[in-house]
Structure 1
Amino acid sequence: MKTKDYRFAAKTFILCLALLQAVMYLPPQADVSRKASAEQRSVAATWMWNTYAIWRDKDQTLQYLTQNGINLVYLQVDKEIPVDVYRTFIREAGARGIEIHALGGKPYWALPERQGEMYEFIYWVKAYNNSSRSAERFNGIHLDVEPYVLPQWRYDQDTVIGHWMDTVSGFVEEVKSDSYLTTGADFPVWLDRFLVPDGKGDTTTLTDWFFGRLDQITLMAYIDNAPDIVKAVTKELNEAAGKPVIIGMETMDNDEANTSFYALGRSQLTGELNTVVQALSGHPSYAGYAIHEYDSWVMLRD
């Protein structure tokens, strides 16, 4: 082989190697196809607040999620857990068809003086994704900020709502500034009681305002029977105008009457869940269901 042929072959090899590395370490924007494909299927989700389950009981956790048809997990970010634990879990979950969204939130994140913690959470997820292979990355970021439990809600509701709106706007803006990560959040089913400016000289419900900014909404329809769940979410589903809405159901012992399947058990949860799915599956905004939360769900009596 002539010298110039060696040079050509070397250049070709280097180019191929660079392309291979680019595929292995795609930036977050390249996950858009995975996001699009996930939105075409019905969501079966759960919250995982106890992140140690992916470290201590990884195989058992993945087996339970798979056996119960879960394809989306809201996984709380715990910075004390080594990043390699996240990488392994997300990679193995993805091989089973399960997406993982980073979960974070505190009620006080809605307050201006505490929003910095939310941005630190977002920065951590982005840094993690940028240092991980495509199959090991979070597909979205899921926000759980419930400021209505704060003392300020009782005496200055309007101000707290304004801060909450600013929090969600800032969340979406920061996440979307340099990524295609899905933005999602949890909300109660009664926010349609509050009217807020729609930015066009009129008013709209607080629920509709949130719908207009996020990719995905999870309604915490924490009621222990299917007819009342369907009734509670119908208005929000109509307001969503085709945007994905996931219906959340409770299994924790929260000491509130008629809100949880904790005392009713697994069979009752399954039956009511099937009724909800059957009733709502034809609605263009119904995207699936979510069970709150993993540890309490696993422990439900049959």
Structure 2
Amino acid sequence: MSLRTSRWLLLLLLVCTWPVWAQVPAPRAVWVWEEDTGAMLESPQVADEALAFLQRKRIGTMYLYADAYQGRNLLVQQPARYHTLIRAAHARGIRVYALLGSWHLHTERYVLPWYRQRAVAMLQRVLDYNQAAPDDARFDGVNYDIEPHVLDRWNDRSRERLLRGFLDMTAAMVAARDRSGQRLPIGPAMPFWWDGITLDWRGVRGPVSAHVIAMTDYVALMDYRNRAAGRDSILSHAEDELAQAKAAGKTLLIGLDFNPGEPAKLSFYGMDEAAFEHEAAQVEAALHGHPAFAGFVFHHYAGYRRFVGEPVPE
């Protein structure tokens, strides 16, 4: 029997026998994209109902969109709206991270050298907001979702160049945060399969995932599977990144999806909430006490609400 097989047999034994009731539930976060963020900013009633929903579902952090959408940038133009929403979240014990990156703005291009300053400027607007905002209305961190693999030019010949661009962009963003003097945690949404791509960056050769983890404060791992253990599962795809985060003294959230898509294994869509909670409990049991495991993050607010049978208010 191989060492890796032995490890998986031990993991499955732990998953099946660990007393889940004896442990504190893992933290939960959720991505809140442009339209849902806008609705919360525009309507105190929508915001209050949304925050109450997050409390009911034990979601303690929301990644709230914080950039331009449909020709407006409320973070810059009407920061008081963010003040009100963030204060209300904090009053309920919910942390708020600024969510950066947008399909509408094609921010995947920010990994290209001639767009890099746009990435820095995007973050700088959050830093400027926090600098000017009252203490109780400031963001608690930053999460950025910029995915170079969606670019048309992504292929076997260009992927290493684009991934180095992602690393350079990340380094520039972290440097901007450091120059600001703020201690705002910053981390990306990162696909689990970046651990299988090795490249040289700044004199160090290693998996892309390890490079990213080394320079950021935490990672939200897009670990989109609907089964806890075994081959091609949540735990199997997070194994290397958890080890890298532990070695680097960093933390990692496991991202899970609830939206329709193909193949079905990518999402909990079509399953019931009890089935999801069963798989989540197995992940928590297996990772209980792991110093790098910081909980789950759900993709995304609207999709998760629909999944649990609570339509999004319009």
TM-score between the two structures when normalised by the length of structure 2: 0.79
Q: Which amino acid aligns with 1:70?
A: I
| Aligned equivalents of 1:221, 1:257: Cα separation in 2 | 14
1:133 aligns with 2:134: yes
- Residue aligned with 1:288, SS: strand
CA contact (8 A) 1:53 1:61 kept: no
- Residue aligned with 1:177, SS: helix
CA deviation profile, 1:90-112 (whole Å, cap 9, x unmatched)? 11111221111101112111112
Find the counterpart in structure 1 of residue 7 from structure 2: none
Q: How do 1:243-258 residues align onto structure 2 when only pairs under 5 Å count?
A: 243-258=250-265
CA deviation profile, 1:176-220 (whole Å, cap 9, x unmatched)? 211111111110111111112264x55211111111100011100
Q: How do 1:27-42 residues align onto structure 2 when only pairs under 5 Å count?
A: 42=26
CA contact (8 A) 1:54 1:86 kept: no
| Aligned equivalents of 1:74, 1:113: Cα separation in 2 | 27
Find the counterpart in structure 2 of residue 93 from structure 1: 89
Find the counterpart in structure 2 of residue 190 from structure 1: 193
1:170 aligns with 2:172: yes
- Residue aligned with 2:266, SS: coil
CA deviation profile, 1:61-86 (whole Å, cap 9, x unmatched)? 01001111111111111443332221
Find the counterpart in structure 2 of residue 67 from structure 1: 56
CA deviation profile, 1:31-59 (whole Å, cap 9, x unmatched)? xxxxxxxxxx9531000003124233111
Q: Which amino acid aligns with 2:169?
A: T
Q: 295, 300, 303: which one pairs with 1:293?
A: 300
Deviation at 1:267, TM superposition (A): 2.4
1:237 aligns with 2:242: yes
| Aligned equivalents of 2:86, 2:97: Cα separation in 1 | 10
CA deviation profile, 1:225-284 (whole Å, cap 9, x unmatched)? 111101110111011124111000001123333101122132222221122111112212
Q: How do 1:95-244 residues align onto structure 2 when only pairs under 5 Å count?
A: 95-105=91-101, 106-154=107-155, 155-178=157-180, 179-197=182-200, 199=202, 202-227=204-229, 228-240=233-245, 241=247, 242-244=249-251
Q: Which sections of structure 1, spanning at least 5 residues, go unmatched?
A: 1-40
Q: Which amino acid aligns with 2:86?
A: I
Q: Which amino acid aligns with 1:278?
A: A
CA contact (8 A) 2:195 2:207 kept: yes
- Residue aligned with 1:151, SS: coil
Deviation at 1:87, TM superposition (A): 0.7
Q: 1:162 to 1:78 in 2, by over 3 A?
A: closer
Query: Whose radius of gyration is greater, 1 or 2?
Result: 1
| Aligned equivalents of 2:67, 2:215: Cα separation in 1 | 26
- Residue aligned with 2:51, SS: helix
CA deviation profile, 1:15-40 (whole Å, cap 9, x unmatched)? xxxxxxxxxxxxxxxxxxxxxxxxxx
Find the counterpart in structure 1 of residue 16 from structure 2: none
Q: Alpha carbon RMSD of aligned pairs, Å?
A: 1.7
- Residue aligned with 1:281, SS: coil
Q: Which amino acid aligns with 2:279?
A: E
- Residue aligned with 2:215, SS: coil
1:77 aligns with 2:77: no
Q: Which amino acid aligns with 1:232?
A: H
| Aligned equivalents of 1:143, 1:203: Cα separation in 2 | 24
- Residue aligned with 2:291, SS: coil
CA contact (8 A) 1:51 1:78 kept: no
Alignment identity in percent?
A: 29
| Aligned equivalents of 1:114, 1:202: Cα separation in 2 | 25
- Residue aligned with 1:148, SS: helix
| Aligned equivalents of 2:165, 2:175: Cα separation in 1 | 15
TM-score between the two structures when normalised by the length of structure 1: 0.82
1:275 aligns with 2:282: yes
Bigger shift: residues 247-256 or 181-190: 247-256
Bigger shift: residues 145-154 or 117-126: 117-126
| Aligned equivalents of 1:70, 1:246: Cα separation in 2 | 13
